[in-house]
Structure 1
Amino acid sequence: MEEPDGVRVIARNRKARHEYEVLEQVEAGIVLRGAEVKSLRDGKASFVDAFGRIDGGEAWLHNLHISPYEKATIDAPDPVRPRKLLLRRREIDRLNSKTREGGLTLVPLDIHFRGGFAKVTLGLARGKKHRDRREDLKRRTMQREVERAKREAARER
């Protein structure tokens, strides 16, 4: 999935946009070991239960599953180990204060390659309530019906 600006998206966390209201996005580098990069290039990543956290002044990504590369040597790292995120000190401090102040969390939105480097897009997000999810579903359904009606009206002309 090559995009025009040289970004190749490996995996998207589609569930994140459904369960969270994303307030802002931050792109961070991700520290990988050994054949994890090759495994990512093959698209072997899963976001189930993945989240970001600021610990000890460093940003970490927890529970991101990167499957071991089949052709790698014996010493494959743990698939769900915490992975360090590369952000500037100011960004880390700002994200730390926003997550501590109230109700916000760091959610990974996608993993991509930019210029040969693996990056993760983090979203500073607030959890949606059940009624918010229902309202979003209703809004999308109504929008889809409006688009369908426009297409049918254009065909009849």
Structure 2
Amino acid sequence: MKIEKSFLVRICSGLAADFGTAPLMDKPRSARYPVTAMAKKKKDTDPNYKVIAENRRARFDYAIEDDLEVGVVLTGSEVKSLREKSGNIAESYAAVEDGELWLVNSYIAPYERAMFPHLERRKRKLLVSRKQVSDLWNATQRKGMTLVPMVMYFNHKGLVKMKIGIAKGKKNHDKRATEAKRDWGRQKQRLLRHGD
């Protein structure tokens, strides 16, 4: 059975007149399917992400093969001190002891207004899973790798996190080669920029 379009329009317009609205077929497509605004794209830079301390020598002294984000167990006065960016991880290292991962020799300045101040260079526990602890222990004991703290920061939730690098120490000739490569890269960029 073939129904004509004009017949349907007349029926729809009659029904629409009863309800006080125009029929859908008389409206343009844009009116029938309104365009909604798209969701905003998440920015790459998070305003809550804040670097506290960075180990700049880590990439120079070590060949970093892999990295891992870990949590840090801190006291309240330590967190308040870190919010003022008074921490240093340049001379620190991570070690596996008794099935747990520890941050050794990191410095967090004492918080001035703390009622019970913390020890500046105490061992701090790092939060990782048991499987990750066993993998890190295997890397340090069997493969001769080192666990190097690379950067300490506040994540988007305001928690203190640390990026640990699983690295192998570089020899002096490796360091010189890395520095020569970096210098050549800088010189190349300078030549491209200035055209000398």
Identify the residue that residue 141 of structure 2 maps to in structure 1.
Answer: 100
Identify the residue that residue 53 of structure 1 maps to in structure 2.
Answer: 95
Equivalent in 102, 106, 126 of residue 85 of structure 1: 126
| Larger of the two Rg values belongs to structure | 2
Structure ranking higher on relative contact order (CA contacts 8 Å, 6+ apart): 1
- Unaligned stretches of 5+ residues in structure 2: 1-43
Equivalent in 111, 116, 136 of residue 158 of structure 2: 116
| Conservation of the 8 A alpha-carbon contact between 2:54 and 2:90 | no
Q: Does 1:65 align with 2:107?
A: yes
**How many angstroms does 1:71 deviate by?**
1.4
| Conservation of the 8 A alpha-carbon contact between 1:27 and 1:121 | yes
Moved over 6 A (4+): none
**How many angstroms does 1:49 deviate by?**
2.0
**How many angstroms does 1:150 deviate by?**
0.5
SS in 2 for 1:23: strand
| Conservation of the 8 A alpha-carbon contact between 1:51 and 1:107 | yes
1:11-60 residue CA offsets vs partner (Å, 9 max, x unmatched): 11001111111110000000001210010111001123200000010000
Aligned-partner Cα distance in 1 for 2:142–2:90 = 26
Higher strand share: 1
| Conservation of the 8 A alpha-carbon contact between 1:22 and 1:126 | yes
Identify the residue that residue 149 of structure 1 maps to in structure 2.
Answer: 191
What is the alpha-carbon root mean square deviation over aligned residues? 1.3
Scaled by the length of structure 2, the TM-score of the pair is 0.74
Aligned residues: 151
Aligned-partner Cα distance in 2 for 1:123–1:20 = 9
**How many angstroms does 1:134 deviate by?**
0.4
**How many angstroms does 1:148 deviate by?**
0.7
Scaled by the length of structure 1, the TM-score of the pair is 0.92
| Conservation of the 8 A alpha-carbon contact between 1:48 and 1:63 | no
- Unaligned stretches of 5+ residues in structure 1: none
1:47-81 residue CA offsets vs partner (Å, 9 max, x unmatched): 232000000100000000000011111x2121100
**How many angstroms does 1:90 deviate by?**
1.0
Aligned-partner Cα distance in 2 for 1:102–1:91 = 15
**How many angstroms does 1:133 deviate by?**
0.5
SS in 2 for 1:35: helix
